[in-house]
Structure 1
Amino acid sequence: MDDPESLDILFADVGAARDQHRSPFKFLDAYGVGDRSLFFGRDNEIRDLYARFYRSRVLLVYGESGTGKTSLIECGLRSEIPAEEALFVTVRTAQDPFEAVRRALQRVLGNAPERDLDALLRAVIEQKNKILVLVFDQFEEFFLFQPASVRQAFARTVQGWLEQEGNCRLVIGLREEYLARASELEPYWPGLFHNRLWIRHLARSDAEAAIVGPCEVCGVALEQGLVPHILTDLSGGGSEVELPIFQVVFDSLYRKALLETPEHPRLTLDAYRELGQIQTILGRFLEERVQSYGEGSELARQILKALVTAEGTRQFGNRQNIAIRARQFGPELSDAQVDESLQRLIGDRLVREDPDQHWYELRHDALARQIRQWMSGLEQDLVDLRQTLENRLLEYQRHGRLLETDLLATLPPFENRLALRGELAELVEFSKRRARQHKRLRFLAVATVFTVVMAFGVFSFVQWQEAKRQKVQAEANFRRANEAVDHFFTQVSESTLLNQRGSEPLRRQLLEKALNFYQDLANQRAEDPQMRAELAAATFRTAKIRNLLGDHRQAEAAYRQAIADFAVLARDHPEIPEHQSYLARSYNNLGLLLGDGGDAAAARTAYQNALDLLERLARDHPEVPAYQSRRALSEHNLGILLSDGGDAAGARAAYQNALDLQERLVRNHPGVPEYQNNLAMSYSSLGVLLSDSGDAAAARVAYQKALDLRERLARDHPEVVEYQHKLAMSYNNLGLLLNESGDAKAARAAYQKALDLQEGLTRDHPEVPEYRSYLAESYNNLGILLGGRGGDSAEARVPILKAAGIFARLTREFPQQVAYRAGWARAEGNLAWIELIARQPREAIASASRGLEADPQQLWIRINLAHGYLFDNHTAQALAIYTENKDRKLPEGKTFAEAVLSDFKVFRARGLQHRDMARIERLLREISDHGHDGSS
């Protein structure tokens, strides 16, 4: 085949008027009501739409990008509804949705007087005397570009129209991947999910009708065999055809035929073959058009990239913000350059312009996907970050919320390329200024903070009690003292350094100082609701400190007092959501405390109370993501409680509830790493549950999702050491699962990744014992893997020796830490087994003895000790241990005797024999048989 003909000549005159011939195809434009005579292949969907239109006042049309949803609504449905019966008004919600509806309605009324939006909508219905059908097209833009507060306000406004205006209906066009996001609108728009139609790509038979029908109408001939040949190529042997490529191919053939025989255009197989690779035609057309601009090609690329979202969809822009966005992808552009480039792109049918508002956008998301492929990783990050900032600007304008420090921390590497201007630049500067102020407060030296805070706190607290004549000033002083102590408490309770060796007495002393302040405060009483709230909050913090200090009984009492206080405040002042929020937090923390104490029933009740409160808060205040986040954490905590209690189904449901909430938070707030971290935690917990339940495949999926999130967090936030620690834990969990599933090679790779991270953490942060503990655990797990299933005992010995050494040092440094002592015992017990397999019974005896010294309650280590004595020919000592412990139960349910018999089978399989093994087996079986009399 010859080289494909350049697509440039096929589109050379795409901007010229064509009065002589009507094109049977639409390229990347949607069909409108005037195109009904050309709209073929969708008769079944049109009938379904027509029937559903009258079924409910809300109709949802959803499907993949490129399935023709807009054409079905604007051409198919509108052509079926008589014009005298209904007035269709199409609205795009990428910009301010309220203003978009206002402009659309004002166009209907012409020069109408200014009025509020509700009155304007009523005026349209009354003056036109028709059903008003608001068509929210490309409605995924609503979720992409509008913050939660705007979405909620708009949903409530539309709810009012549906309830009060009998002649108002909604038709919504939505990409199917945003269907879950639409669930937040269901409480406001009745029937949203009950009256929906899924639009799929054209079936081949329908695609043939969509080709032949328009060509017959427009007098365009088709060579025999052309249509089935092209459809086979377009469907890839499948049963469906993608509309964007379909339209571009046939529009290209038509324009080529029009150039060659304008009076009698005919589409031929030869012309089709000249197009080249069909699946890449759109990308090639786009590339060739841009290349044809010569020196202006890079400028055009900048403009086109500025019209693409972080998700690879199109977005609106006016000349000004297109120029600002384009700065991310190259040099600064003048107004004249932007205008000239936009006009060329419009002429080439790549970009369209809203004639009223002079907004510009790509003609189709198919183009956006191609353009996104041009972007480097850095450019994609810039688009994502700017989109996040633009959404946060709307939040700031409505609610005064500045940017979080985590988001600000991501900006420095990108600020020069972002070229922030105007309101966005001001928002960033205001947020930085506030963050600097907070940072100065947070990073005062602990001793200075402690001295100043306590002195000021006592002085102000006395003032508050005694200076009734100066009540306002005294209360102000008190609140400043309270805030300062809050900062102090947060620093002490969360400090990594104060949790380390040698710091426990200081940490306890500092926490007790804060406790005394809060305890004195909590014992006061006040009539002022604000002061009552401060006192209740002090009780809550008292409970937290009691728990940190290990005073669990007093912590429980304080939490119950906080619950009682906040319940009264929430009842008396339902308009203040913070009271309900504190009440929910108190219930959640009480649930954690009760669960750790073994009272599962009471803990479950506490969690449920927290969830009921948080569900109501999240519903009533969707603009506050913290309520959704706390609700998800309570669901997660409930899942852990149910899992520990053996209720796997209940735990899985709770974890799934947490995941649904956290997935939504991550989508809506991609710049908040805390939400990604919490989502990873829930996936990890679900993975543990699924693994314990025997569903290894599902567990692996959950672990992998946690791993993906934590890898991204560790990469994007290298300054947050905890993210690297959590990532290592995920690799370790995955290694355990893979080992249990028999995939030793993959398990070893996972353990090695965990070890690489943990060795770095231990090297860089030797003051944090937790990192050393997890490093030892990973070494231990790797050793078990290497020594199992006929493995190399010499190779397995190395990591387990490392684990035992680390745990032994931790036990000496922190003798009160039971977990370190248990880890040491576990490593020594595993080492004893490895020594047995390696035919080193004396070393096995030594390791098992050290393990039992660390933790005498580990019965399985006693078995390894007995085996060591047996193979070292101290049969009497071995027999004594075997018989003394024969009926004791191991944690997994086996008796001591059953475990010994099982080990003997392993020894024989490994070629290990002892002359007394058969005798001991008979003895243990006889003892076991005689020891059971049938009683229960």
Structure 2
Amino acid sequence: MGSAPEKGSGMMNLQAIARYPGARSFYDNASDRLLFYGREEEIDLLFHRVCATRLLLLFGKSGVGKTSLLQAGVFERLRQQQNMLPILVRFNLPASPLETIQTAVSETCQKCGVDYTPGEGETLWEFFKTMMLWQGDVLLTPVLVLDQFEEIFTLRSAQERAELACELGDLFRAALPPRVRQRRQLRDAADNSNTALTVSLSEQPPNVNVIISVREDFVGALQELAAEIPGIFDDRVRLNPLSDTQAKQAICQPAACQSTETAQFITPSFSYANDALAEIIRYLRGKSGVIEPFQLQLVCRDIEQQVLQLSTQGQSVACITSELLGGEKRLNAIVKNFYQQTLATLPQRDRWNAQRLCEEGLLNAEGFRLPLQENEIFKQYHLGSQALAPLVEARLLRKESRLESNFYELSHDSLARPILESRPWKLTYKQRLVAYSGLITLCLVAVFGFLQWEEKEQAYTAEKQATLAKQQAQAAREAAEGVLNFLVFDLRDKLEPLGRLDIIEMIQQRVNDYYEKLGIEGQSAKVLNQRAVSYESEGNRLFAQGRLEEAGKAYQRFSSLIKQVALLEPHEQTWQRNISVSLMKIGDLLNAQGKPEEALKNYQESLAIRQKLAAHDPSNMGWQKDLAGTYLNVAWHQLLNQQPEKAIEASQYGLAIKTNERMEATLHTNLAHGYLFTGQFDKAEAIYLRYRDKTVSDGRSFKQAVLDDFKEFRQRGIDHPDMSRIEALMR
């Protein structure tokens, strides 16, 4: 439910860990607890308050670190010192409150090795009254931690909130709830039993504690629940933002931790010079004066990556100086990279609209943050709540409910400047449309005017000026090629959100006619490559429109031309990469046509090329990423061709390449499938459980990706008796 597995569990080997978690929360595991600093006073306060009261309200602003404080700061202490079992619960999935809590209890017990006797009955009161949790010979007290409780207002109906409030309120009544008593008495009468069921339950309330963790802006909304939960406001703790001293501890102490036999770090320990530390603190405070743990971890994670990179190059870094830090420009670049990487996780159809929203809708001309109402976002930028959810989850955006609607804004002031600098030409969207329209007209006039000029020039050029004219024509032609590239590629990206790809299709046809008249002989590799990539773009558009036969012809032209380019300049590695791209495109097409064997052959040929490129230049992260993605495709199609052993090998090769968390999770889906199909169920189950709450490259949850894969396997006649067991784990 939001906790990572313990590193010491038998399902994985000890591996190097990062000192800073980045944008995610700290988990409830040994390594994250070791690195969680700066909140010692809050940990003590919250621990003692939980022990002293049965119902505690924890609140604070979004991003202030409530979940991290609970998971990495308080949970283990409750388990070790008070024989309490914290059970993290989220109400973000479509299930009843009782089902959600029962699932959370079961998963927590399984993870912590607790013997669990499930409770009976139809209410939370009966469930916790009859439930028992044993660890050895010690009876544990459950502590329900209702994290991100604002989700009952943003994701649940008023009726569901009322039902949940009634259930929670019953837990703190001093007697058997009347509705429970009445139902059980009716059941006794119907059964004609001599021993009434109500006798088996005492009047004493269940032994269970509850922590409600909620965003500060939703505390007022809890008044809606106060009638059913009268003591909801009696015991409360407000979590404040980090002070400068706490922030310094959170920055410096993880960096100073030494590797041990139970915790190996990806970098040697290091420290921060005072001037560098002061610069980081100043940057984090920004205009708002609030230090958010999320941004602190983002900056520190990037600094740690810098230390790692320098260490692998043989440069030891013992102290982060102001010079190494790189000043405000570097810090802005960290946030800018986070912004761009977050946008890159969105589907292509949403990415451009999300960029416009962030750069124009949520910032004014001076770069100050603006809130925008959800309906206005949908009307202006065609992004619904589902499309915005990944941006909120990644903490790029903050979502607030007010005036019976949802408003979105950038999560922090320090995001404003780098996002503003990403705005192309500092123009608004409407201004850019006007500029694009004028530029399109000029480009069309220039291109076709040039073609007419070239024909006349060739007709009237004297023999003694032929060589000079040819050079001029070539230079002009290359300039025209650049304009054509703008029309085919950049203009396509601008028109696609407007739904006017019909314009591109018309332009593409004219471009193709021009290239056919131009011919191939005597053309430079650069011009031929531009022509080849134009055919690739045409194939992509036709493929997306489902016109597979036409897309195939375009991809074949792309492949044929790029091979000719490679023959002209055999030592240029970019052309080799483009050959691998053409093989991948044809493989995608064959797969869509239901020809997995032929598709696999193309992917393997592409893999061979990318292996050579990555080996030639290991520092080129783009080629390394290409190689990992190709291993992913090869492994998938080996599974479709019932070659699970080979799929395991390809997945392991892909995982050996340093990528990102989503690519790692995606590669692990194929690895787990391979183990499942080869009878290695324990290995497969370990991976499914480890990554079940992760997200894969295309934005789906790992669980959903597994279920979708199994559906496609069955559609292709591939089945395994253990697939149903895994499906049960994923649901």
- TM-score normalised by the shorter chain: which range applies? 0.3 to 0.5
Name the larger-Rg structure: 1
Larger RCO: Structure 1 or Structure 2 (Cα < 8 Å, ≥ 6 residues apart)?
2
- Higher percent of residues as helix: 1
TM-score of the aligned structures, taking structure 1 as reference length: 0.34
